[in-house]
Chains A and B, each alone.
Chain A
C-alpha cells in the first residue's frame, strides 16, 4: 500500500506542481492569476494524444508540436484575457476574463475532441507496477522543468529580464526592457510548462477534456500553499498535496479524500496566509 501511495501520490503531485509553476510563470510578469493554467495542462494531454495516436506522428515530433500548440494558447491568453484588463488589476477583472477563456478552451476541447477520455500512448515503455513509467515520468519531467527554469532565470539574459519584470515592472521598463514582449514570452513559456505537465501525465490522466477543471483546482493549491510566485514552494506544495491526497484515498475513500485535502488546505492558509514558503511583503501607503 505504501509503495502505491508513494508512486501515484508523487506522480499526481508532480503534475499539480507543474500546473502551479504554470500559474507562477504567468503571474510573475503580469501580476495576473490566469485560470487557464489547468486547461493548458489538459491540452498537453489532448494534443499529445492527437499528434501521436490519431495522426501517428513519432513521440518526439508529437511532443514538440504539443509544446508549440500550448505555447500558442499561452500567447492567446495574454492577448485575449490578460492584456485588456491589465490597466484595472485592482478590480480583479482578470478573474472573469481568464475563467471565461478557460471555459471556452474546455468547451471547444469537449466538442472537437469528445467528452470521453481518449487513450494516451506509452511514451518509453519502461517499468511496470509501481515503477511504471506513468508514475515516474511526471516526476522526472517536473525535476527537469524546474532545473531548466532555474537555469533560465539565473544564467540567461532573457531569464534575468523576466526576473526584473517580476521584481519591479516600472523600474524594468524605465531601464528599457521590452516589458510587453517579455510578458508575451512568459505566457508562451507558461504554455510550454503546462504542456509538459499534460504530456508527461498523459498516461496517468488520459487525454480528457475534464482534466482542465481538475488541474486548475488542484494546481492552484500548491501555489497557495507554497506562496504566490515561488516555484520551489509550488513543487514542495504540489508533491505534498499529491501524497496527502493519495494517502487520504487509501484511508478514507474518494469523496472524503477531497474533503480532507481542502480541510488541510484551509488549516494551512489560516496558519500561514502568505503560504508556507511565501514572505509577507510590505506595501507602501
Chain B
C-alpha cells in the first residue's frame, strides 16, 4: 500500500496528540511517601507554640505510619525552621514547594510569617492548613487553598464578649491593651463590638508594656465604675503588674481576655499566687477540665495515648499538641479520600468537611468559609489552673 504524504501528516499528528495524554503513573509512584512540609519557628523568641505543635505533628505521623500509612504510603514530615522570621519563612516556603516538592504545608505558626507566605502558597496552589489568628489570612477568593483550624481574632473577641455580658452578666466594661499594633487593633475592635452589643465601655486604654506601675490606669478604670477588665495583650509582665496592682488596691474586679493571661511565666511574676485568681483567659472546651477535674472523654483518651508514647505535656499547651495532630490527620485523610496527593483533591476534601471530629475541635469548611474552628468551643479558663497543658473551666460553664 502506498503511503501518501497526507497519511504521514495525519499519522504524525495522531501520534503527537496521543503523546499529550497522560500515561498511567507507574506503580512505584504510589509507594512514594506523602510529603507534608512544616513551617515552624523552632528556634528564636516565638518558638514556644512550635514546641507543642511539633510534638503533635510527629506523634500523628508516627501513629499513621505505624498503622501502615495512607493506602500503603508513609507520611514524611519535611520540617523547616523559620526562626519566627517572615523572610526565612518565605525562603523555606519556596524551597518546600519547588525543591522538596511537598504535597501540603502545615504552618507557619504565627501570623507575621503567614502574612508573607500565604500568597506564595496560593500562587503554587499548595494545600495549606495553619493556626494563625489574623483575619485577613483567610480569604477564599484570594487564597482558596488556605484553611484555618484555630480561632480567628474576631472569634476570640466574640467569646470574651459573650462571657462578660451573658455569663458574668456585667455591663460596665474596661478594655485595656498594650501599645503594639496588635494591642491597639484588638482594643479598638473589642470596644466597638461591646458598644454594638449595648455594653457601656467606661474605660479604654493602651499601656506601654514596660510601664512599671499600673496604678494610674487601674485607678481610672475603678473610678469609672468598671465591673470587669478585658485585656488584649501578649505581654505577661504588664499583665502580672496589673494583677499585683489590683491586689494592692483591694479591688476584686475580674480580668478576662487574651490566652497569655494564663501563661506559666505569670506564676513567677505575681507577688503572691492569690493575685492570679479571678483571672479568666481564653481557652477551649476540648482541653478544659470540669469542676470534678475531668477532661472530655476523647481528650482524656488522647492524653493517655500521649503519656504512653512519652510525649511531654507539662511544659506546653495541650491544644498545641492536639492542633498539630489534627493538621497531619487532615492532610492524611485528604490524600486517602481523594486518592491522590494532588492539591485540588486535598483542597476539595477539606472543603467538604462538616463538623470533622478533631482532637482540638470539630472543624467545618466549605468553598466559601475556611475559618474552620467553631466559636462555641471557645470558653474561658481559670488562668492559674494549668495542669498538663489543660485548664479548669471558668465559673459559669457546666
CA of A4 to CA of B213, assembled, Å: 9
Interface positions of A from 194 to 232, Cβ below 8 Å from B = 204-206, 208, 210-211, 214
One of B207, B248, B263, B268 near A254 (C-beta < 8 A): B207
Determine if A214 and B210 form an interchain contact, defined as CB atoms under 8 angstroms apart.
yes
One of B207, B215, B217, B237 near A206 (C-beta < 8 A): B237
What mask results when residues 111 to 128 of chain A are scored 1 for a CB within 8 Å of chain B, else 0? 100111111000000000
Which B-chain residue is minimally distant from A118 (CB atoms)?
B268
Cβ of A192 < 8 Å from any Cβ of B? Answer: no
Determine if B210 and A211 form an interchain contact, defined as CB atoms under 8 angstroms apart.
yes
What mask results when residues 220 to 249 of chain B are scored 1 for a CB within 8 Å of chain A, else 0? 100000000000000111001000000010
Cβ of A66 < 8 Å from any Cβ of B? Answer: no
Cβ of B311 < 8 Å from any Cβ of A? Answer: no
Cβ of A60 < 8 Å from any Cβ of B? Answer: no
Cβ of A110 < 8 Å from any Cβ of B? Answer: yes
> Least Cβ distance of B88 to chain A in Å?
15
Determine if A11 and B237 form an interchain contact, defined as CB atoms under 8 angstroms apart.
no
Which A-chain residue is minimally distant from B176 (CB atoms)?
A254
Cβ of B24 < 8 Å from any Cβ of A? Answer: no
- Chain B residues lying within 8 Å of A253, measured Cβ to Cβ, are 205, 216-217, 220
What mask results when residues 141 to 154 of chain B are scored 1 for a CB within 8 Å of chain A, else 0? 00000000000000
One of B179, B211, B248 near A129 (C-beta < 8 A): B248
> Least Cβ distance of A252 to chain B in Å?
9
- Chain B residues lying within 8 Å of A246, measured Cβ to Cβ, are 213, 216
Cβ of B206 < 8 Å from any Cβ of A? Answer: yes
Cβ of A36 < 8 Å from any Cβ of B? Answer: no
Cβ of B209 < 8 Å from any Cβ of A? Answer: yes
- Chain A residues lying within 8 Å of B122, measured Cβ to Cβ, are none
Per DSSP, chain A at the interface is: helix
Interface positions of B from 243 to 287, Cβ below 8 Å from A = 248, 263, 265, 268-269
CA of A11 to CA of B212, assembled, Å: 10
Determine if A116 and B212 form an interchain contact, defined as CB atoms under 8 angstroms apart.
no
- Chain B residues lying within 8 Å of A8, measured Cβ to Cβ, are 212-213, 215
CA of A205 to CA of B44, assembled, Å: 23
Residues of A within 8 A of B (CB-CB), count: 28
CA of A8 to CA of B241, assembled, Å: 13
* Known contacts A206-B237, A208-B237, A253-B217; A117 and B269 CB within 8 A of each other: yes
A-B contact count (CB 8 A): 71
* Known contacts A116-B265, A129-B248; A258 and B212 CB within 8 A of each other: no
Cβ of A145 < 8 Å from any Cβ of B? Answer: no
Determine if A117 and B206 form an interchain contact, defined as CB atoms under 8 angstroms apart.
no
* Known contacts A8-B215, A110-B45; A255 and B237 CB within 8 A of each other: no
Cβ of A157 < 8 Å from any Cβ of B? Answer: no
Determine if A254 and B220 form an interchain contact, defined as CB atoms under 8 angstroms apart.
no
Interface positions of B from 36 to 78, Cβ below 8 Å from A = 44-46
What mask results when residues 235 to 263 of chain A are scored 1 for a CB within 8 Å of chain B, else 0? 00000000000100110011100100000
What mask results when residues 75 to 117 of chain A are scored 1 for a CB within 8 Å of chain B, else 0? 0000000000000000000000000000000000011001111
Residues of B within 8 A of A (CB-CB), count: 27
* Known contacts A116-B236, A116-B237, A117-B236; A249 and B269 CB within 8 A of each other: no
Cβ of B307 < 8 Å from any Cβ of A? Answer: no
Which interface residue of B211, B216, B265 has the most chain A CB atoms within 10 A? B216
Determine if A210 and B209 form an interchain contact, defined as CB atoms under 8 angstroms apart.
yes
- Chain A residues lying within 8 Å of B209, measured Cβ to Cβ, are 210
Cβ of B208 < 8 Å from any Cβ of A? Answer: yes
Determine if B215 and A254 form an interchain contact, defined as CB atoms under 8 angstroms apart.
no
- Chain A residues lying within 8 Å of B46, measured Cβ to Cβ, are 115
CA of A250 to CA of B179, assembled, Å: 17
Which interface residue of B213, B215, B248 has the most chain A CB atoms within 10 A? B213
Which A-chain residue is minimally distant from B210 (CB atoms)?
A214
One of B45, B205, B219, B248 near A111 (C-beta < 8 A): B45
Which A-chain residue is minimally distant from B248 (CB atoms)?
A129
CA of A29 to CA of B397, assembled, Å: 66
- Chain A residues lying within 8 Å of B213, measured Cβ to Cβ, are 4, 8, 12, 204, 246, 249
Determine if B210 and A255 form an interchain contact, defined as CB atoms under 8 angstroms apart.
no
- Chain B residues lying within 8 Å of A250, measured Cβ to Cβ, are 215-216, 219
Cβ of A270 < 8 Å from any Cβ of B? Answer: no
> Least Cβ distance of A259 to chain B in Å?
12
Cβ of A1 < 8 Å from any Cβ of B? Answer: yes
Determine if A114 and B237 form an interchain contact, defined as CB atoms under 8 angstroms apart.
no
Which interface residue of A117, A250, A253, A258 has the most chain B CB atoms within 10 A? A117
> Least Cβ distance of A17 to chain B in Å?
15
Determine if B208 and A1 form an interchain contact, defined as CB atoms under 8 angstroms apart.
no
- Chain A residues lying within 8 Å of B44, measured Cβ to Cβ, are 111
* Known contacts A115-B45, A116-B265; A210 and B210 CB within 8 A of each other: yes
- Chain A residues lying within 8 Å of B263, measured Cβ to Cβ, are 116
CA of A110 to CA of B47, assembled, Å: 12
CA of A118 to CA of B248, assembled, Å: 21
* Known contacts A8-B215, A253-B216; A118 and B45 CB within 8 A of each other: no
- Chain A residues lying within 8 Å of B216, measured Cβ to Cβ, are 4, 246, 249-250, 253-254
Query: What are 5 of the A-B contact pairs (CB < 8 Å)?
Result: A8-B215, A11-B212, A116-B236, A249-B217, A254-B179
Nearest 9 A/B pairs, CB to CB: A117-B237, A115-B45, A8-B213, A254-B207, A119-B268, A249-B216, A250-B216, A204-B212, A214-B210
- Other 10 A-B pairs with CB < 8 A, given A116-B263, A118-B265, A254-B207: A114-B45, A115-B45, A115-B46, A119-B268, A204-B212, A206-B237, A210-B209, A254-B206, A254-B211, A255-B179
